Amino acid sequence: MSNNDTQGTLWEVFLQRKPGQPFVHCGSLHAFDKEMALQNARDLYTRRGEGTAIWVVPSTAIVSSSPEDLGPFFEPANDKVYRHPTFYQIPDAVKHM
Amino acid sequence: MEEWFDAKLQKNEMIEPKDWMPDNYRKHLIRQISQHAHSEIIGMLPEGNWITRAPSLRAKIVLMAKVQDEGGHGLYLYTAAETLGTSREEVLDALHTGKAKYSSIFNYPTLTWADIGMVGWLVDGAAIMNQVMLQRTSYGPYSRAMVRICKEESFHQRQGYESVCHLAFGTPEQKAMAQDALNRWWWPTLMMFGPTDDKSPNSAQAIKWKIKRESNDQLRQRFVNQTVSQAEYLGLTIPDPDLKWNEERQAYDFGTPNWDEFAAVVAGNGPCNKERLAARVKAHNEGEWVRAAATAYALKKNEVMSAA
């Protein structure tokens, strides 16, 4: 927030649609503190029962991978087919595995 | 980088905030998304005008919910614009100084209660036509905002049509009021899709970048095709003597909107341009002390927290 900017800071909103489900990013908003961020998130993103729980996180706290290193960053997983169940052969006689 | 970007568009992959993008793509999006946001916010004014005078408690709560949604849509879009590196302060400033535009439709007055029904049925109906297309826009945050908005907009159009139904099937005076509102809103609604394709240079580039997926004329035609039967059901007459089903094209032929009027409204000389902008600037200025207090409170709390 710069000195003459009075629009608050940017927060990211994560919503859990139903109990037990993962929290999914649904958008961003402006707020001045965490209580306001939570209330704004409720008013902005759950006007029609879209969620049962909310996380709000200051945008500056999010660390993300960068698109330029997409290849090398995820490369370690590319040659490890043995991590997948289809890599293994199970005799036909054995059912339900 | 440009090749990488083009290839991504070719594959119909979304562009995300941290991806490389051409400067003009970024500029085009900032302009389009922020103006879209401004339209949602300014759009609250002609409707808010009728909240205190809604004819029933049901109509009043519906209208309040709708106006609240419009505010929400504005906020989704402002944050989408901010992912492109602009600040809220900057885009609001552009609106308040008249540098940025908003949809010309909101420079028309809502004179009677029937106008509120027309705004829902026609104006939101036309907006949905555009927004359904924008769900598949190439910029991720814009697309995601549109998906959310489209879910909410269908309530807006349906409540508008229901409201017009009450008038159209009501007393002769009520029906006449609905017809009068349709007469005034029909042509400005058709102008909402923007100039014809041959006069819309930005549009071609936007389609190349997959920001837009269909042209102004295509969307306008679809809107007319869809709306005629809805008006017929109401027993209302669309004020266009050239409106006629074309068997060969399997579409309606229709007249030409008054493009001089459109140009005048866009240039700031519509019936309500000055009033709308003045209302927005007044609200912004009068809210200044709230923002200043909230900023001071947040700073003070941070100091207390870091001292503890």
Asked if A32 lies within 8 A of B76 by C-beta distance, the reply is no
* pLDDT tops 70 at residue B43: yes
What average pLDDT score do residues B13-33 get?
95
Question: Could you tell me which of B110, B194, B216 has the C-alpha nearest to residue B160?
Answer: B110
Asked if A47 lies within 8 A of B87 by C-beta distance, the reply is no
CB B223 within 8 A of CB B129: yes
pLDDT, position B201: 77
* Range in B218-227, B254-263, B292-301 with the lowest mean pLDDT: B292-301
Q: Give the C-alpha separation, B260 to B21, whole Å.
A: 36
Asked if B298 lies within 8 A of A32 by C-beta distance, the reply is yes
pLDDT, position B219: 97
Residues 6+ apart with CB under 8 A from B196: B216, B217, B259
Asked if B88 lies within 8 A of A30 by C-beta distance, the reply is yes
CB contact B260 to A (< 8 Å): no
Within 277-296 of B, beta carbons closer than 8 Å to A belong to: 288, 291-292, 294-295
How many percent of chain B have pLDDT more than 90? 92
What average pLDDT score do residues B206-232 get?
96
Nearest to A8 among B19, B148, B294 (CB): B294
User: Which residue of chain B has the CA closest to A40?
Assistant: B72
Q: Is the ipTM of this complex over 0.90?
A: no
Residue spans of alpha helices (H) in A1-69: 34-45
User: Which residue of chain B has the CA closest to A3?
Assistant: B295
What average pLDDT score do residues B17-43 get?
96
Quote the pTM value. 0.92
Residues 6+ apart with CB under 8 A from A34: A56
CB contact A67 to B (< 8 Å): yes
Asked if B82 lies within 8 A of A5 by C-beta distance, the reply is no
pLDDT, position A3: 47
Between B37 and A75, residue with greater pLDDT: B37
What average pLDDT score do residues B123-151 get?
96
From chain A, pick out residues whose CB is under 8 angstroms from the CB of B69. Answer: 47
What average pLDDT score do residues B54-62 get?
96
Q: How far is B83 from chain A (nearest CA, A)?
A: 10
Q: How many residues does chain B have?
A: 308
State the helix-helix crossing angle for B172-191 and B124-134, rounded to 10 degrees: 40
End-to-end alpha carbon distance in chain A: 56
* pLDDT tops 90 at residue B154: no
Residues 6+ apart with CB under 8 A from B24: B205
What average pLDDT score do residues B44-60 get?
95
pLDDT, position A4: 60
Asked if B72 lies within 8 A of A6 by C-beta distance, the reply is no
CB B4 within 8 A of CB B20: yes
pLDDT, position A1: 42
pLDDT, position B1: 85
* pLDDT tops 60 at residue B208: yes
pLDDT digits (tens, 9 = 90+) for B158-181: 999 999 999 999 999 999 999 999
* Range in B185-194, B201-210, B282-291 with the lowest mean pLDDT: B201-210
* pLDDT tops 80 at residue B135: yes
Q: Give the C-alpha separation, B268 to A5, whole Å.
A: 28
Here the tokens at position B224 are 């007319």
Query: Cα angle at B105 between B100 and B111, to 5 degrees?
Result: 130
pLDDT, position B308: 63
What average pLDDT score do residues B38-65 get?
96
Sign of CA dihedral B202, B203, B206, B208: negative
CB A32 within 8 A of CB B298: yes
pLDDT, position A2: 45
User: Across B74-131, where does the E strand assignment appear?
Assistant: none
Residue B180: count of CB within 10 angstroms of its CB: 15
CB contact A7 to B (< 8 Å): yes
Nearest to A7 among B69, B76, B88 (CB): B88
Residues of chain A with pLDDT under 50: 1-3
Residue bearing tokens 């500056």? A60
